Structure 1
Amino acid sequence: MRKAICLILTIFIGLVLNNGCDKTNPLKEIDYDHSIYEVIKHAAIHMQDHSGYAVRAAAYMPGAHLEKDSIKHRRIDIYLPVEETAFGGYIHFGPELIGDMIVCINVETPLFITNCDSLGNEKALKIERTFSSNEIADSANTSLVKTAILFEAQPGANILKIGPVSQSLISLIIEEATHEHND
């Protein structure tokens, strides 16, 4: 009886050690949704901060420049110029901010992102994901953020086109998509 139990246990341990991890299948893609919603929720906290600052967006590219240190965990109140029938404008940041970024805005508005390298070459950046106000309210449990986009910022100027939107003043937060929230 002991030999049978030892044999079964040995076979089981051997199977686990040798085959427990299927090395033939690639790793599954990591689900970032949980951490992204945490970042959006964190941005909503900063929407309420009194430490925001004002910027006037430009009617033309590249727009007002946002310094890296001035946007970390801070609300930016943006005054938008008049477009044809609404408001809209451009701001830009970089070149030192690169990688996955989230832009959170307190109104529902179209957002477009373009990159301009040091040689002046422009290219539209792919918005990896757009978050609607309903999705944000359901998943991040906040109504302070109405629109959010996830994109990969590139070296050079990352130019954000805001609008058209019906109001001339909006608030936004630019956050790295994955980072520690200590404050």
Structure 2
Amino acid sequence: MMKKLLSACLLSSALLVGCGEESNEVDVEGCEHLAEGPAVAVTASASTSGAPSVGNDHKRYDITLPAGTSGNAGSVSFAAAEATDYVFFLGADVSLKVTSSSGQAVEFEESAKSSEQCGEIKGRYVAPLQVGTYTLTFGPTSQSSVSLVIEESAHDHEH
């Protein structure tokens, strides 16, 4: 019995050392907030100016997307308080573009349409952000809303 417990502990700690563990922990957190909230209703702005703000504050933002000529689309703003990787979890398959305050598009390190952790995740985007304010633009899409949860990845690039 003791050997099994020791093996389990060693296996657990080995998993914690690898890079894969962080995405699992982050995905578990993202799943929890997508499924359970707490929820904040936000209406995205049709333009990037005056976009309402969202945060990485353990909340699910239920974002209503305004109707546009080529589909529903809208923007919200996000202030990154720390220079790190952020994971953007979406509850609908809606395109996401992240733009810095200077207008530069941010390249995603990873993107996926799902997660092994739960079925609620329909979009998962990892972006390396510096301290500053970013615009998150959703759509155009046929969806009228999208749920968003933002988590810090806690990924350490010094491996």
**TM-score class normalised by the smaller sequence:** 0.7 to 0.9
From the superposition, tell whether residues 153 and 84 of structure 1 become closer, same or farther in structure 2 (CA, over 3 Å).
same
Q: Map 1:16-55 to 2 at 5 A.
A: 31-55=18-42
What TM-score do the two structures reach when normalised by structure 2?
Answer: 0.78
Q: Which residue of 2 aligns with 1:76?
A: 61
From the superposition, tell whether residues 111 and 50 of structure 1 become closer, same or farther in structure 2 (CA, over 3 Å).
closer
From the superposition, tell whether residues 95 and 130 of structure 1 become closer, same or farther in structure 2 (CA, over 3 Å).
closer
1:165: how far off? Answer: 2.0
Cα distance between partner residues in 2 of 1:103 and 1:79 = 17
From the superposition, tell whether residues 102 and 50 of structure 1 become closer, same or farther in structure 2 (CA, over 3 Å).
closer
Structure ID, larger Rg: 1
1:96: how far off? Answer: 2.1
What percent of counterpart residues are identical? 26
Q: Give 2:150's aligned amino acid.
A: I
Q: Which residue of 2 aligns with 1:146?
A: 122
The SS at the match of 1:94 is strand
Q: Give 1:157's aligned amino acid.
A: T
Superposed CA offset, 1:5-41 (max 9, x none): xxxxxxxxxxxxxxxxxxxxxxxxx853331132122
Q: Which residue of 2 aligns with 1:164?
A: 140
Cα distance between partner residues in 1 of 2:80 and 2:37 = 27
Q: Which residue of 2 aligns with 1:178?
A: 154
**Structure 2: unaligned runs, 5 residues or longer:** 1-16
Q: 2:96 aligns with which of 80, 89, 111?
A: 111
2:92–2:121 contact (8 Å) kept in structure 1 = yes
Larger fraction in strand: 2
Q: Give 1:147's aligned amino acid.
A: G
From the superposition, tell whether residues 74 and 50 of structure 1 become closer, same or farther in structure 2 (CA, over 3 Å).
closer
1:88–1:162 contact (8 Å) kept in structure 2 = yes
Q: Give 1:111's aligned amino acid.
A: L
2:91–2:121 contact (8 Å) kept in structure 1 = yes
Indicate the RMSD between aligned Cα atoms, in angstroms.
1.9
